[in-house]
Amino acid sequence: MSTRSRIAIERADGTISSIYCHFDGYPDGVGKCLAKHYTAWNKVQRLLDLGDISYIAERVEPTPGGTHSFDNPERDVVVAYGRDRGEGNVEANEHPSLSAFVSDMSQDIFIEYFYVFNRKRGWTFYDGAGTAFPTWQDCESGDVLAPAEIDVLVCPHCGAIDSIVVHQREHHYYTLEMVDGGAEIAQDLADLWWAENDVDYACNACDEAFLVVSEFLGAS
């Protein structure tokens, strides 16, 4: 039985490109494969260039000169409707923003999960309701990140103020999220499991960098 999903890439300008994947769309299937084998921007883009796919696999391209096709697929190679079965109208869909894409997907009764790749943040894993998770395991279990600290940052260069939300799960700090008039700028804090190090942050207003000290993030 198919578990339908969509795989998307978020460009620097905020626009989204996405393709449909028919089989194995659950987090332990498509989500796990993306997290393990699709960690480079160029490879994710090559996947989306295929358009809609039947199922995902470790490799995008088959062996040169091989016999890979929809009916005779090569092991560990993506099977695509256009390239491998000659179908038309399978190109990636375009979406104006991440919020628009999430809204569309959460209202699509046929899409059970969807996954978005950002060059800085890597993969974000979504369930059909549009709830975001930082890992495929969290998406599988439904373990939602909860805000741990909410405070204010003042830029020492220009005096601009930003709200700050530090998310945590099981006492590990994962994401520093800056919220400014609805805009979201996230910085991966995977190396700050216990917030023992300072974090570099670029001001939304003047783009000057300054340190957010570990004590501010709630380290004990």
- pLDDT for position 63: 94
Cα separation of the two ends of the chain: 48
Same domain, 108 and 137: yes
In a domain, 130, yes or no: yes
> Which tokens go with 197?
């190090």
Same domain, 135 and 152: no
Same domain, 84 and 158: no
What type of residue sits at position 56? Answer: I
In a domain, 220, yes or no: no
- pLDDT for position 218: 42
Same domain, 156 and 199: yes
The DSSP output letter for 104 is: H
Give DSSP secondary structure letters for 76-97. TB-EEHHHHH--SS-PPEEES-
Same domain, 126 and 151: no
In a domain, 72, yes or no: yes
> Between the CA atoms of 109, 104, 36 and 121, what dihedral angle is there, to the nearest 10 degrees?
-150
Same domain, 34 and 91: yes
Q: Which residue has the tokens 């003047």?
A: 206
Q: Which residue has the tokens 């991440």?
A: 98
Same domain, 132 and 171: no
Q: Give the list of residues 6+ apart from residue 84 with CB closer than 8 angstroms, or none.
A: 54, 68, 69, 70, 73
Domain count, the chain: 2
In a domain, 218, yes or no: no
The DSSP output letter for 146 is: E
Residue 124's Cβ-count burial label (10 Å; 0-12, 13-18, 19+) is buried
CA distances from 123 to 8, 36, 40, 153, 196 (A): 9, 10, 10, 27, 24
> Between the CA atoms of 35, 88, 96 and 28, what dihedral angle is there, to the nearest 10 degrees?
-20
Same domain, 112 and 135: yes
Given 113, 141, 169, the domain boundary residue is: 141
- pLDDT for position 112: 95
In a domain, 150, yes or no: yes
- pLDDT for position 59: 97
Q: How far is CA 206 from the centre of its chain?
A: 27
Same domain, 170 and 186: yes
- pLDDT for position 200: 55
In a domain, 217, yes or no: no
Domain that includes residue 156, residue range: 146-212
- pLDDT for position 117: 94
Ranges under pLDDT 50 in the chain: 146-151, 163-198, 213-220
- pLDDT for position 214: 44
- pLDDT for position 1: 56
Could you tell me where the beta strands, DSSP code E, fall in the chain?
5-10, 16-21, 53-55, 79-80, 93-95, 113-118, 122-127, 132-133, 146-154, 161-169, 172-180, 183-188, 199-202, 209-212
Q: CA–CA separation, 217 vs 96, rounded Å?
A: 33
Same domain, 150 and 119: no
- pLDDT for position 217: 43
- pLDDT for position 134: 84
Same domain, 121 and 150: no
Given 141, 170, 201, the domain boundary residue is: 141
In a domain, 219, yes or no: no
> Which tokens go with 127?
């369930």
Same domain, 166 and 62: no
Tell me the whole-structure pTM to 2 decimals.
Answer: 0.69
- pLDDT for position 202: 62
In a domain, 110, yes or no: yes
Given 97, 113, 141, the domain boundary residue is: 141
